[in-house]
Structure 1
Amino acid sequence: MSIPIQYYINAFQQLFFPHICCGCGADYLKDNQFICASCMHMLPETHFLDKTGNPIDKIFEGRIPVTAAGAGFYFYKSGLVQHLIAQLKYHQNKEAGKFLGRCLGRQLIATSRFNSVDLLMPLPLHPKKEFQRGYNQAALICEGIKEVWPKPICTKAISRLIYTQTQTQGNRISRWKNMENAFWVVDPAYIKNKHILLIDDVITTGASLEACGNAILSVPGTKLSIVTAAYTV
């Protein structure tokens, strides 16, 4: 039995241009896969998006009027999701953001809580930080969402005014104080009378999302929902 020429082409490509799983390094992926089936099965979904009163809703309860909120996956120390987000934020792996976005998009499609969303908005980075990183990781997540849930992406309405260092070591109160007046409305026409879905990679205290959400809600007629790729437990 003759072996198809495509077999040799695929073998050559895999030898010199290996396509490996971003999670475990396995090399038995299809061309359109980012992680292998085993790693995909290990992703710790929260199942929050379709539940009112979930832990992400409660973060903002009594602080800012959020229509719906949720997170796609749990963020565990040394876990697969932490690895993917580290790849996205610190190792120039843009595809990790788009992959997480596609996962979120499929979860958003499966629930009716976000049906009235008009625009996707990545949490803005300060221009200095975006220049240092080369991109806004939240914007890449939005691009992934849009691939499976075709909503317009808005990046021109809100800007980050204050540069802050990473807040992973700060407590809840210090994070909120650091974010006071950190965002401002550049052009309200983009979001007036729109339901905005604000997107970020990970949520802990929600201080940055709350500050940006307040700027969004200062524009007449806006509604706010919030979704992140991961939730720190």
Structure 2
Amino acid sequence: MMVSLKNYWQHFSRLFFPHLCEGCGTDILPTHAMLCTRCYMQLPATGFFTTADNPVEQSFYGRVPIAAGAAAFYFTKHSLLQHLLFQLKYNGHQKMGIWLGQQVGHQIAAGNRFKPIDIIVPLPLHPKKEQLRGYNQAACIAQGISTVINKPLVCHALSRARYTQTQTQKNRAARWENMEDAFTVLFPQLLQHQHVLLVDDVITTGATLEACTTALLAVPVASVRIATVAYTI
């Protein structure tokens, strides 16, 4: 009886607060999903989380030692995934970040390459930028991952020490120069000897994640693994 009442209330509430697919607008989707099945199948999965020597890991070769790295989906301009990430970063849609993180978490759980993880660390935003946005999108994603793989979040051990310029129009060398010494470890005792999963939304050249990994390895941590929602092609 209670289940029936709950289902009735969910259907009734959708008359006033419709839950629509972010891709096509249909209301035929599970309560906690952001996409219907048809739109979800359009997201271009990479398969990186179960594949060694994937393009994410290759982007760090000769730069900084990571134990593993992967992104869940390929990112292209004017795509459904770009729309989802835009909703997260610029339209205040924090639940989108949690849901995207859960998709990453399921891909992590499907293999063995990320099993040594002890803690999850979202890439920090500069306090001014986080205040303007109202939240850190990487922390939303990390929260979603945590709900799937049951590993604790550590959100305040690292800080963005400098307010860096946007990376969008910069080449690889300029991106690294922009990020050099951008991160500071505030509470090394929370990180020491831990196997860290470092989380961000998108990886392009990897300069930001490289700079953050460098700061983590100086603690020192046991290892760093990197997970993002998207990989830019």
TM class, shorter-length: over 0.9
Q: Unpaired runs of 5+ in structure 2?
A: none
Runs of 4+ in 1 over 3 A off after TM superposition: 4-12
Match of 2:104 in 1: 104
Distance verdict in 2 for CA 1:10–1:51, change over 3 Å: closer
CA 1:26–1:222: 2 relative to 1, 3 Å: same
Alignment deviations for residues 77-101 of structure 1 (CA, whole Å, 9 cap, x no partner): 1111111100000000111101110
Q: How much has 1:12 moved relative to structure 2?
A: 3.4
SS state at 1:199 partner: strand
> How do 1:134-213 residues align onto structure 2 when only pairs under 5 Å count?
134-213=134-213
* Deviation, structure 1 residue 155: 1.4
d(CA) in 2 for partners of 1:29 and 1:227?
Answer: 27
What residue in structure 1 maps to residue 74 of structure 2? Answer: 74
State the SS of the aligned residue for 1:72. strand
Are the structure 2 counterparts of residues 36 and 187 from structure 1 closer, same or farther at C-alpha, using a change threshold of 3 Å? same
Q: Distance in 1 between matches of 2:181 and 2:94?
A: 29
Aligned-partner residue type, residue 63 of structure 2: R
Task: Give the aligned residue type for 1:44.
Answer: P
Q: Which moved more, 1:10-19 or 1:87-96?
A: 10-19
For 2:88, what is the secondary structure of its paired residue? helix
Query: How many correspondences in the alignment?
Result: 230
Per-residue CA distance 1:182-214 (angstroms, 9 max, x = gap): 001111100101111100000001111000000
Give the conservation status (yes or no) of the 8 Å contact 1:116–1:195: yes
Task: Quickly say closer, same or farther: Cα 1:26–1:185, change in 2 above 3 A.
Answer: same
**Partners of 1:161 and 1:16 in 2: CA distance:** 45
Q: Deviations over 1:149-176 (max 9, x none)?
A: 1001111221110101321111111100
Q: Give, in angstroms, the shift of residue 32 of structure 1.
A: 2.6
Indicate yes or no: 2:232 matched with 1:228.
Answer: no
Aligned to 2:91: 91
Question: Counterpart of 2:180 in structure 1: which amino acid?
Answer: E
In structure 2, what is the Cα distance between the partners aligned to 1:8 and 1:201?
36
Distance 1:221 1:71 in 2: 22
Q: Secondary structure at the match of 2:181?
A: coil
For residue 127 of structure 2, what is the aligned residue in structure 1?
Answer: 127
Deviation at 1:9, TM superposition (A): 4.6
Aligned-residue offset at 1:104: 0.5
Residues 156, 190 of structure 1: 8 Å contact kept: no
- Aligned counterpart, 1:24: 24
> Structure 1: which 5+ residue stretches go unaligned?
none
CA distance in 1, matches of 2:10, 2:190: 46
Give the distance between the partners of 1:30 and 1:111, measured in 2 at CA: 26
TM-score by length of 1: 0.94
Cα distance 1:103–1:7, how it changes in 2: closer, same or farther (>3 A)? Answer: closer
RMSD: 1.5
Whether the 8 Å contact between 2:172 and 2:205 is mirrored in structure 1 is yes
Q: What is the SS of the residue equivalent to 1:184?
A: strand
Corresponding residue SS for 1:32: coil
Distance in 2, matches of 1:6 and 1:51, equals 42
| Separation of aligned partners in 2, 1:192 and 1:179 | 23
More displaced stretch, 21-30 vs 186-195? 21-30
Kindly report which structure 2 residues correspond to 1:42-53, keeping only aligned pairs within 5 A, or say none. Answer: 42-53=42-53
> Hey, what's the Cα distance between the residues in 2 that align with 1:128 and 1:5?
45
TM, length-normalised to structure 2: 0.94
Q: Is 118-127 or 11-20 further displaced after alignment?
A: 11-20
Whole-Å separation in 1 of the counterparts to 2:188 and 2:8: 56
How far does residue 16 in structure 1 lie from its aligned partner after superposition? Answer: 1.2
